[in-house]
């Protein structure tokens, strides 16, 4: 039985938000891990530039970032022209476009914890693996990744939570389409606009509880990693 205060559209928004956050977290782990490894190990002059680009979503207003992603995905943008050439149409105001925007917006929340974990382990473990004639790829998967597990877990939790709380970027890229791009934050906004404060309270309270749970989980992860280091 549906609890009083949460409408069918509210549950639909919750399901869509969880789907978006899950896919975003998975894609970010695949993308952020090699990028974080490169940033933690390279001496290239491009390191500072790449690091700045990765960090850019942290300082840009979400609406600014969302606007430029929308332009890129639109009919006149180079990404939009490419997807149209491939017969995919334009990704703006679609779940696929929303997913792409979420990955870009949450990228620093995935890259930075993993990068810090790789840097914290130092070079000694990889040097020992090399003396044992382990190939770089084998050493990465058997040595570096296990040692960076706390960073990977933190990145996953932060990416998921950050995606759940998105508003400006998803509004700019996806609009507010029920069942396709209307996530929880937009549903709360709609309830407030319609002066449906009771329904907004239910969803907003759920976000507060979720956010508190994320903070507790991160604190426990940090405590566990500190014990491992000690």
Is residue 16 in a domain?
A: no
Length reported for the chain = 230
The predicted model scores a pTM of 0.87
Is residue 201 in a domain?
A: no
Overall number of domains in the chain: 1
Is residue 210 in a domain?
A: no
Tokens of 177: 């389409």
Q: What is the pLDDT of residue 1?
A: 39
Q: Kindly report each contact of residues 68-77 with a partner whose C-beta sits within 8 Å and lies 24 or more positions away, as own/partner.
A: 69/97, 69/100, 69/101, 69/104, 69/169, 69/172, 69/173, 70/172, 70/173, 73/97, 73/100, 73/173
Is residue 91 in a domain?
A: yes
**Which region holds residue 122: left if phi is over 0, alpha if psi is between -120 and 50, else beta?**
left
Q: What is the pLDDT of residue 31?
A: 95
CATH number where 114 lies: 1.10.3720.10
Is residue 171 in a domain?
A: yes
Is residue 4 in a domain?
A: no
Q: How far apart are alpha carbons 171 and 31 in whole angstroms?
A: 24
Query: What secondary structure letter does DSSP report for 228?
Result: H
Is residue 157 in a domain?
A: yes
Q: Which residue range is the domain that position 176 belongs to?
A: 27-180
Is residue 146 in a domain?
A: yes
Q: pLDDT tens digits for the chain (230 residues)?
A: 344 567 888 889 999 999 999 999 999 999 999 999 999 999 999 999 999 999 999 999 999 999 999 999 988 888 999 999 888 888 989 999 999 999 999 999 999 999 999 999 888 888 888 888 888 888 899 999 999 998 999 999 999 999 998 888 998 998 888 888 899 999 999 999 888 888 888 999 988 998 888 888 888 877 766 665 54
Q: How far apart are alpha carbons 153 and 113 in whole angstroms?
A: 9
């Amino acid at each position: 039985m549906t609890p009083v205060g949460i409408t069918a559209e509210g549950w639909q928004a919750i399901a869509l938000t969880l789907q978006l956050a899950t896919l975003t977290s998975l894609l970010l782990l695949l993308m952020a891990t090699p990028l974080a490894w490169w940033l933690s190990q390279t001496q290239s002059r491009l390191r500072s530039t790449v690091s700045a680009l990765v960090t850019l979503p942290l300082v840009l207003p979400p609406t600014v970032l969302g606007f430029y992603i929308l332009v890129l995905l639109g009919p006149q943008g180079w990404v939009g022209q490419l997807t149209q050439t491939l017969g995919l149409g334009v990704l703006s105001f679609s779940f696929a476009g929303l997913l792409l925007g979420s990955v870009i917006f949450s990228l620093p929340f995935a890259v930075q914890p993993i990068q810090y974990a790789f840097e914290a382990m130092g070079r000694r473990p990889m040097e020992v693996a090399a003396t044992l004639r382990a190939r770089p790829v084998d050493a990465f998967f058997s040595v570096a990744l296990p040692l960076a597990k706390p960073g990977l877990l933190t990145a996953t939790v932060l990416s998921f939570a950050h995606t759940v709380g998105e508003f400006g970027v998803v509004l700019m890229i996806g609009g507010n389409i029920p069942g396709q791009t209307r996530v929880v934050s937009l549903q709360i906004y709609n309830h407030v606009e319609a002066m449906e404060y009771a329904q907004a309270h239910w969803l907003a309270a759920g976000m507060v509880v979720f956010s508190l749970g994320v903070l507790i989980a991160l604190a426990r992860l940090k405590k566990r990693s500190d014990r491992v280091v000690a």
